[in-house]
Amino acid sequence: MSSTAGQIIKCRAAVSWEAGKPLVIEEVEVAPPKAMEVRLKILYTSLCHTDVYFWEAKGQTPMFPRIFGHEAGGIVESVGEGVTDLAPGDHVLPIFTGECRECAHCKSEDSNMCDLLRINTDRGVMISDGQSRFSINGKPIYHFLGTSTFSEYTVLHVGCVAKINPAAPLDKVCVVSCGISTGYGATVNVARPPKGSTVAVFGLGAVGLAAAEGARASGASRIIGVDLNPKRFEEAKKFGVTEFVNPADHKKPVQEVLVEMTNGGVDRSVECTGNINAMISAFECVHDGWGVAVLVGVPHKDAEFKTHPVNFLNERTLKGTFFGNYKPRTDIPGVVEKYMNKELELEKFITHSVPFSEINKAFDLMLKGESLRCIIRMDG
């Protein structure tokens, strides 16, 4: 048992007080974990676009003050009552969607949509008691995605924590905790492109480039990257992208451009933008008869998907997935092993690194489209 077990921990956290305003590093009190919860010391965290959407709160429900952050790596500090498969000192990745191992979804081989612990963007408290574990002078601060990793210590439900190989460097594998698993899994687990097929990837951020990496690993022969940011194209070559389309360079809708380039449509498409028009294009660019489109981007809360039903009658399939269909506790240790075995490169996704005190720089870099992943070092 660590000396802090059972005690309140005072530590630094980056608190978001108001939508779109710079985060403020504050001293927060982190309560000890309750039954079936664990408290983690976060060592590295990174920024995913989902954090940015909820911080901007333009197309998402505002909830402030809040501690964002969900892509991270850390070490178990203490565990609550009833926790048997994690112990202080374990190396772990917090995951924004959980696995209780008891519900019908957890028992199904197909689903990762756990009844108890599936992603819930609008919950700012712990499941067990509806309370926050964070406070400043007695005033509660909301959690985000059950993870809140922009804090030196945070409390999670045990079902949202993946125990990983302690030899894995947390400053690299922290990106497996959301973006890389999400994109890679969307291709290899959900789109499942046959060898030799053509795959379109919409959005060439870290999630989309991980989807491209999954297409390359599946043996796709053409990988077409679609992005509005031309800076992304040079970088994308490192991820196996073979051709590029910028929708802004064309008068006609991008789905028509792709259909022409591919003699009737792509075999698979994976959408990683969060933009509703890109989602529709990603569906409409797949080949009739067999094409499959997979949506990954987090849409605006009022977005509606509009397409002609004949696009379905013509035997196209539309799917969507959270976290690349991976079950966090069961499957993520294996994704980390892929990195350890050099089957999956992570370094090329990590374009920047900042100390915790400069966390706002990570937001600027993502908003300017300059970073893929920016690692935030909690000791700095």
Ligand X SMILES: NC(=O)c1ccc[n+]([C@@H]2O[C@H](COP(=O)([O-])OP(=O)(O)OC[C@H]3O[C@@H](n4cnc5c(N)ncnc54)[C@H](O)[C@@H]3O)[C@@H](O)[C@H]2O)c1
Q: Are 293 and 211 in contact (CB under 8 A)?
A: no
Binding mask 251-290 for ligand X (x = CB under 6 A): ---------------------xxxx-xx------------
Nearest distance, CB of residue 77 and ligand X, angstroms: 26
Determine if 322 is a binding residue for ligand X (CB under 6 A): yes
Q: Which of Zn ion, ligand X, none sits in contact with 354, Cβ below 5 to 8 A by type?
A: none
Structure-token match 């959005």, residue found? 203
Whether a cis peptide bond, with omega within 30° of 0, leads into 65 is: yes
List of residues contacting Zn ion (CB under 5 A): 48, 50, 100, 103, 106, 114, 178
CA distances from 183 to 58, 156, 206, 294, 338 (A): 24, 24, 8, 10, 15
Q: Quick check: 291 binds ligand X (CB under 6 A)?
A: no
Instruction: Report, in Å, the least distance between residue 256 CB and ligand X.
Output: 14
Closest CA to 59 of 273, 307, 369, 292: 273
CA distances from 141 to 31, 128, 160, 211 (A): 12, 17, 20, 34
Choose the contact partner of 268 out of ligand X, Zn ion, none; CB within 5 to 8 A by kind. none
- In the set 28, 170, 174, 206, which binds ligand X (CB under 6 A)? 206
Sign of CA dihedral 374, 361, 15, 303: negative
Q: Are 281 and 307 in contact (CB under 8 A)?
A: no
Stretch touching ligand X by CB under 6 A, among 106-114, 166-174, 206-214, 336-344: 206-214
Name the token pair of 304: 């509606």
Q: Which are the catalytic amino acids?
A: 48-50, 70-71, 100, 103, 106, 114, 118, 178, 373
Q: Which is nearer to ligand X, 156 or 366 (CB)?
A: 366
* By CB under 6 A, residue 72 contacts ligand X: no
Return the residue of 60, 151, 182, 218 that touches ligand X, per CB under 6 A: 182
- The listed partner (Zn ion, ligand X, none) that binds 114, CB under 5 to 8 Å by sort, is Zn ion
Task: Output 64 or 322, the one with its CB closest to ligand X.
Answer: 322
Residue 312 has phi, psi (to 5 degrees) of -85, -40
In angstroms, the CA 360 to CA 15 distance is 11
Judged by the rule CB under 6 A, the positions of this chain that interact with ligand X are: 48-50, 53, 178-179, 182, 202-208, 226-229, 232, 247, 272-275, 277-278, 296-298, 322-323, 366, 369
